[in-house]
Chains A and B, each alone.
Chain A
Amino acid sequence: MVKRYLAVLLSGLMIMGSVCLTGCGSTSETATTDTKEETTKEETKEETKEDTKEDAKEDTAAGGDNLSESKDLLAAAEKDLKTTDGHEMMAAGTTAEVPEATASAEDLEKLEDTDKEKWHFYEYLDWDTANDATFPESPADGQKGKKVVLIVHGAHAWTTCYQEAFEAACDAVGMECEVYDPNWDQSTQDGYVDQAINEDPDAIVVIPVSADHAAQQFKKICDAGIAGFCSNTLPEADAMNYIMAYTGPDDWAQMRNLASALGKAMDGKGGVCYITHNVGTSPYYARTYGPMSTLATEYPDIKSLDVQSPGFEAAAVKQVVSDWITKYGDELNAIVLADDSDQAIGAVEACKDAGRSDIKIVAAGNSKQGSELVESGDLFEMSYQSCQADAGLAVRTISEYFCGEDIARVSYIGTDIINKDNVADFTPCQW
């Protein structure tokens, strides 16, 4: 009986308590959110009125100090901050022109994997801007003193490097930063998005665990009247309707460049096998079908022999490559890897054990292991994807937004190809 009473009592207390305690908070919070846009509109109207001109001038002057100070901080950070390998950390991003799709997404899906056209909607953020949500307007008072929440995808050496660079960049431009790590779990990341919204920061940056789920996450952020930025992982195109800006690597371009260099080194003939990233993720498509379709277009005599997804364990990759060497023999001339660390170690070991040093191995990079393998000549080439510049570009874009500048909706970090001749230019490695 006591238990029953206690249960009823506690349930009632919880409901009543939460209603009472949240009553004021929720009203004020909702009111704050709802009135954010109205305030901006009202401010614009007020500016046109002559009787409030003086107040407006005072406001602008107050924001102006912070704005000019913020711009100075940003300029200094752009100049001073360097990556571990000595490159600019907050360099300006590049944009890529989006070619027009030749057919609808459903029709393109029916094309061959080797057809570049098939991957149009995977490669480009080709979204319909007509469906864009109403984004919060920039306060145009500078980034200094603003609070940013970064929600990464999960624990990894790369993530640690990105996080540290992001914090350093925020520190340099005068922003406060809080980081959440959902450890690769989608529902935990959803929870963190809610927590971040609850904290009411000035901006939220998300590296989505899942490209398909990004739309829901950014819709929530957008609905709450907070500026949402997507970093590193390419979201699905429709998610861009709710994303203020995407910054990150152009995975497709760097893998296409790598494939072109590989095709040239193979003299336009031979057979290639592919080890993929996690199935279904954006690097899975970019790092498998990017090089595959490039080779098929530029070097039609190069055959794609097989695609396997053994994961990121060296032993599993070694087994797959050993099987390929047995199965294809001299037909196998090159291997494209989605990862230059454990996958590369496994593939190199398998080739060495089979005495097939002639097989050219290329990978998406650039980790410490990858650099060492390129230096030793075991890895033919790898792409340069700067983790720290990735974080730096995100912070730069957010800062520019707070400074009231026009920002590109999509901007990419620079890329390069690392080989034995230029590997010294990209060391010491970032992660």
Chain B
Amino acid sequence: MNKKKFKINANFINNYRAYFFLIIIMIIGIFTPKFYTAFNINAVTGNGSLVMWLGLGFTVCLIAGHMDLTVMYMSTFGALLCLGLHSINGLPYIVCILIATLVGVIVGLANGILVTKFLIPSFIVTLGMQFVVKGAMYIYTGGAELSIGKDYAFNEFLNEKLIPFLPFSAYFLITTLIIFIIMIVFRYTRFGRNVYMVGGNLETAWLAGIKSDRVTTLVFIISAAACAFGGALNGVYSGSASITMGEKGISPLMIALTATIVGGTAIQGGKGSVVSTWVTLIAIAFLKSIFKKTEMQVLVIAVILIACVCYETITLYRRNKTVGTRPNLHKEYLEETGKAK
């Protein structure tokens, strides 16, 4: 039996960089005043949950070899729709969230059909679709901000600790639960393996009999529905929503993209994990708590992203240099001819 040697080298660190990133942040946290308080952990993970939904959507699409730029506006639309249906139409929150998710499914379906049936690159489709969603939001709200008003019951539930001894809000725990369910689906089901195969090599996937169009469309549906659902929950959790949410400051879309890449998801598809993205997003959320000034947060996040992309590029360049070559040819010859020492 061949046993793999366990080595802590550059490759190992790179493979588990998301976890190392989190460990470093947690160690720095020890030296940060009032970092390890229940309130801080609850607030940081709760406020960071929205980008976890965006990261989830972005990662699943990127694994399948596509980009979904609608994630941010989809979550905002989900929030506005949920708050609007509740405060204006008086529907119960559960119905509002379901309707918001359904709208996400429709948008995801449209994205999927345009990408698979009309063969338009996903970047273009989702770039256009995000403005369609934004326009729809303006029509729906008239540019106004929507809030929960004085109905704090569900807001308080999402803000409160679901498990009394854990310093995490119900919103964060729901987010984490869904992310782990998606992780299980992607890792242990045929559909999940098909997504990796479609993203890794579309031609091979087709030869293997995978209905790649269906898989791709489903991935877009999962992404948009998750973002709409997460956005709806976030609307209630934070108490209000507006169309321009995330357009100023550090864009949630950029954070999701950064976390996806830092988390190890391959830009060309076929490789990645929603849990790694989730871990990176937790690290980024805590990083914000350490570097309190926005300018420092932007700087540190950008440096980490650049470092990861540089490493990926150098690795890819080295790999491409050796593709098709046999660096061990001389050694093999010596072994075959029995001249090896």
Assuming the contacts A19-B165, A22-B37, A212-B147, asked whether A191 and B47 have C-beta atoms less than 8 A apart, the reply is yes
Binary CB contact string for chain B from 124 to 153 against chain A (1 if under 8 A, 0 otherwise): 000000000000000000011111101010
A191 touches B242 (CB 8 A): no
A347 to B246, CA, bound (A): 31
Stretch at the interface among B110-118, B195-203, B288-296, B310-318: B288-296
A190 touches B41 (CB 8 A): no
A213 touches B294 (CB 8 A): no
A187 touches B238 (CB 8 A): yes
A residues 181-196 near B (Cβ < 8 Å) are: 181-188, 190-192, 194-195
A7 to B34, CA, bound (A): 26
The residues of A that contact B40 with a CB separation of less than 8 Å are: 194-195, 198
| A22 partner, pick from B22, B38, B152, B289, beta carbons under 8 A | B38
| A3 partner, pick from B16, B22, B41, B248, beta carbons under 8 A | B16
The residues of B that contact A198 with a CB separation of less than 8 Å are: 34, 37, 39-40, 43
A19 touches B279 (CB 8 A): no
Stretch at the interface among A10-18, A389-397, A406-414, A420-428: A10-18
| A10 partner, pick from B15, B19, B41, B44, beta carbons under 8 A | B19
Which of A21, A29, A182, A192 gathers the greatest number of chain B CB atoms within 10 Å?
A21
Assuming the contacts A280-B144, A280-B145, asked whether A15 and B245 have C-beta atoms less than 8 A apart, the reply is no
Which of A26, A184, A198 gathers the greatest number of chain B CB atoms within 10 Å?
A198
Chain A residue, CB-CB nearest to B285: A191
The residues of A that contact B150 with a CB separation of less than 8 Å are: 238
Cβ-based interface call for A199 (8 A): yes
| B36 partner, pick from A22, A181, A219, beta carbons under 8 A | A22
B238 touches A190 (CB 8 A): yes
A3 touches B37 (CB 8 A): no
Binary CB contact string for chain A from 19 to 32 against chain B (1 if under 8 A, 0 otherwise): 10110011001100
A195 touches B50 (CB 8 A): no
Chain B residue, CB-CB nearest to A20: B36
A13 to B242, CA, bound (A): 37
Cβ-based interface call for A154 (8 A): yes
| B248 partner, pick from A30, A184, A212, beta carbons under 8 A | A184
Chain A residue, CB-CB nearest to B165: A19
Say which size band chain B's interface belongs to.
35 or more
A210 to B243, CA, bound (A): 12
The residues of A that contact B334 with a CB separation of less than 8 Å are: none
| B143 partner, pick from A14, A17, A154, A280, beta carbons under 8 A | A280
Chain A residue, CB-CB nearest to B36: A21
A14 touches B22 (CB 8 A): yes
Cβ-based interface call for A124 (8 A): no
Q: How far is the CB of A404 from chain B (nearest CB, A)?
A: 28
Cβ-based interface call for A6 (8 A): yes
The residues of B that contact A191 with a CB separation of less than 8 Å are: 43-44, 47, 288
Chain B residue, CB-CB nearest to A131: B150
A182 to B288, CA, bound (A): 12
B residues 156-208 near A (Cβ < 8 Å) are: 165-167
A183 touches B143 (CB 8 A): no
| A190 partner, pick from B22, B47, B147, B155, beta carbons under 8 A | B47
| A216 partner, pick from B16, B147, B288, beta carbons under 8 A | B147
The residues of A that contact B15 with a CB separation of less than 8 Å are: 3
| A25 partner, pick from B23, B37, B43, beta carbons under 8 A | B37
A124 to B27, CA, bound (A): 49
Binary CB contact string for chain A from 238 to 273 against chain B (1 if under 8 A, 0 otherwise): 100000000000000000000000000000000000
Cβ-based interface call for B249 (8 A): yes
A185 touches B147 (CB 8 A): no
Cβ-based interface call for B240 (8 A): yes
Count how many pairs of residues, one from A and one from B, have CB atoms less than 8 Å apart in the complex.
124
| A213 partner, pick from B47, B240, B248, B279, beta carbons under 8 A | B240
B292 touches A195 (CB 8 A): yes
Q: How far is the CB of A323 from chain B (nearest CB, A)?
A: 21
Chain B residue, CB-CB nearest to A211: B145
A197 to B293, CA, bound (A): 16
Cβ-based interface call for B31 (8 A): no
Cβ-based interface call for B26 (8 A): yes
B residues 254-289 near A (Cβ < 8 Å) are: 275, 279, 282, 288-289
| B249 partner, pick from A14, A17, A25, A188, beta carbons under 8 A | A188
The residues of B that contact A181 with a CB separation of less than 8 Å are: 293-294
Cβ-based interface call for B250 (8 A): yes
The residues of B that contact A187 with a CB separation of less than 8 Å are: 47, 50, 238, 245-246, 249, 252
A213 touches B147 (CB 8 A): yes
Binary CB contact string for chain A from 168 to 209 against chain B (1 if under 8 A, 0 otherwise): 000000000000111111111011101101111000000000
Assuming the contacts A2-B6, A10-B19, asked whether A154 and B37 have C-beta atoms less than 8 A apart, the reply is no
A279 touches B143 (CB 8 A): yes
Chain B residue, CB-CB nearest to A153: B248
B residues 15-29 near A (Cβ < 8 Å) are: 15-16, 19, 22-23, 26
Cβ-based interface call for B55 (8 A): no
Cβ-based interface call for B84 (8 A): no
Q: How far is the CB of A32 from chain B (nearest CB, A)?
A: 11
A187 to B37, CA, bound (A): 21
The residues of B that contact A3 with a CB separation of less than 8 Å are: 15-16
Cβ-based interface call for A302 (8 A): no
Which of B6, B145, B150, B293 gathers the greatest number of chain A CB atoms within 10 Å?
B145
Assuming the contacts A187-B245, A190-B238, A212-B147, asked whether A18 and B36 have C-beta atoms less than 8 A apart, the reply is yes
Q: List 13 A-B contacts (CB under 8 A).
A: A10-B279, A15-B166, A22-B38, A26-B167, A180-B293, A181-B294, A186-B240, A187-B246, A187-B252, A188-B249, A191-B43, A194-B43, A279-B143
Binding site for A on B (CB under 8 A): 6, 15-16, 19, 22-23, 26, 34, 36-41, 43-44, 47, 50, 143-148, 150, 152, 155, 165-167, 238-240, 242, 245-246, 248-250, 252, 275, 279, 282, 288-289, 292-294
Q: Pick the 5 closest A-B CB pairs, nearest first.
A: A185-B249, A26-B38, A216-B239, A194-B43, A184-B248
